[in-house]
Amino acid sequence: VEDWDIQYEQGREWESLKRAAEELKETDTPVAFPTETVYGLGADATRSSAVRAIFAAKGRPADNPLIVHVHSIPQLRTLLLGENKTSDGVIDPIPEIYKPLIRMFWPGPLTIILPNPNGSVLAPEVTAGLDTFGARMPRSILSLALMRLADVPLAGPSANASTRPSPTAAEHVKDDLNGRIHTIIDGGPCEVGVESTVVDGLSNPPAVLRPGGVTVEQLRQCPGWENVVVGYKDKHEHDIKPRAPGMKYRHYSPKASVILYEAGAKIPGLSDILNPKKGYKSVGIIRTKTWPAALGLLIDSEHQTNGDSDPKGTGSESVARGLNSSLSNLLRSVIQHQIPHASQHYFQPPVGNRIPVWDIALGTSTEDVARGLFSALRELDKKGVEIILVEGIDDRVGDDIAAAVMNRLRKAAELRV
């Protein structure tokens, strides 16, 4: 991080990855790495000192367990067998219930809850005292390559400071963890933009503990998962005890107050924006499927800027600069997403000064909304807005990742819905 330009050296991707892998194996400082969902903060999951350093860097509560990332099925089996490798490959330790999911969704945005064996090789801090651990195989090529090179299971929460929105670009990690870690592997903007779906197939019926990049509808297609239930709640959070410990914490919060408009709610007007007491000094708007530009209220967009072009590290150009090996060509074909940026407008209230408005259109597809969401919350924070109005999307059907998007937004809004 201190030497931010180092990873853009021409054709040195493998060397950079190898250096990061060495750092993972030989030091206790975590390394930030891209996945298809969000950036992770990785450490050797078998060493307590390395895992404790993740909690310290993030400021994360110790009772919130970490996901273990694996690069292969054999590596997952070693975790399930622990030190008592008695079965000699005769009995497959992977629970049958998960096999259709693994076949269908790995590598990809799905985390499965597994029994942590007696004699587990995982550091106890990873599981936060539970007798289970969560595992996932990400599909980002950089993350798989890093894990192969390090050849250790990688404990990896999202690489944000605790309570902040998850990072979907290397720059976001730098903003939160600068000075606390040495290395961020920049893979450009994340493809999915919301975290993995966490499922528990050890319970009956199986349950979704966190909605994410794999939909409930997709899970239901798999044998044994037809009756999967929703084991989280995001509208009346006080009613049920979350089964994924992380779901109980304040989360995804920008500094500004977030007001979420559920799909179908009335479009906000000037009276919703004018604070009766003093008036907001600046307002952020995140639009999705139907709201008009700046809510149709703008009186002046002459100072409009289309964002700050692409700040270093958040877009594909910054990555493309260093590309020339065959790994680079592969990356070039994978990295194609651009993050939408804010443009500035003004509202003129009936009395008083005009109010600057930062407006971000995430796009009308649910995938685009998911991809740009965390970045939009972070960008509006940087603009210093006091309030963010967000247009929600319909999550009732379950055939896309709207449930994950709305779950994160309801948390960000802390029930101001």
User: Which residues ranging from 147 to 206 are in contact with ligand TXA (CB under 6 A)?
Assistant: 156-158, 195-196, 198
Rounded to a whole number of angstroms, the minimum distance from the CB of residue 25 to ligand TXA is 19
Intra-chain end-to-end CA distance of the chain, in Å: 38
**Contact between 158 and Mg ion per CB under 5 A:** yes
Structure tokens at 197: 């779906």
* Beta carbons of 375 and 169 less than 8 angstroms apart: yes
Residue among 107, 134, 231, 372 that touches ligand TXA (CB under 6 A): 134
Q: Does 65 bind ligand TXA (CB under 6 A)?
A: yes
Nearest to Mg ion of 358, 374 (CB atom): 374
**By beta-carbon distance, which residue lies closest to ligand TXA?**
246
Residues between 396 and 415 with contacts to ligand TXA, criterion CB under 6 A = none
Per the document, the length of the chain is 417
Smallest distance from the beta carbon of 197 to ligand TXA, in angstroms? Answer: 8
Binding partner of 385, given Mg ion, ligand TXA, none, CB within 5-8 angstroms per partner class: none
* Contact partner, 258, from ligand TXA, Mg ion, none, Cβ < 5-8 Å per class: none
**What values do phi and psi take at 224, rounded to 5?**
90, -10
Stretch that binds ligand TXA, among 242-250, 278-286, 293-301, 333-341 (CB under 6 A): 242-250
Backbone Cα Rg of the chain: 22
Alpha carbons 316 and 337: distance in angstroms, whole number:
7
Contact 360, 380 (CB under 8 A): yes
Euclidean distance between CA atoms 205 and 193, whole angstroms: 28
Tell the residue number behind the tokens 């139907």, with chain if given.
290
Handedness of CA 84, 129, 62, 75 (dihedral sign): positive
Q: Which does 210 bind (CB under 5 to 8 A by kind): Mg ion, ligand TXA, none?
A: ligand TXA
CB of 165 to Mg ion, least distance (A): 9
For the bound state, the minimum distance from the C-beta of residue 64 to Mg ion, rounded and expressed in Å, comes to: 8
* Nearest distance, CB of residue 205 and ligand TXA, angstroms: 16
Nearest approach in angstroms of CB 66 to ligand TXA is 5
* Distances, alpha carbon 118 to alpha carbons 93, 124, 203, 233, 245, in Å: 13, 11, 20, 32, 22
245 belongs to the binding site for ligand TXA (CB under 6 A):
yes
Out of 21, 97, 150, 209, the residue judged to bind ligand TXA by CB under 6 A: 209
Point out which span in 25-33, 48-56, 153-161, 285-293 binds Mg ion (CB under 5 A).
Answer: 153-161
Convert 114-161 into a string of H (helix), E (strand) and C (coil): EECCCCCCCCHHHHCCCCEEEEECCCCHHHHHHHHHHCCCEECCECCC
Sheet of strand 197-200: strand arrangement: 183-184, 31-33, 40-44, 154-155, 67-69, 132-136, 110-115, 197-200, 207-210, 229-230
CB of 400 to ligand TXA, least distance (A): 17
Answer yes or no whether residue 162 interacts with Mg ion by CB under 5 A. no
168, two tokens: 């979907």
Instruction: Choose which of 66, 137, 147, 177 interacts with ligand TXA (CB under 6 A).
Output: 66
Residues at the contact surface with ligand TXA, assessed by CB under 6 A: 35, 37-38, 40, 64-67, 109, 111, 113, 127, 130, 132-134, 136, 138, 156-158, 195-196, 198, 209-210, 244-247
Binding site for Mg ion (CB under 5 A): 158
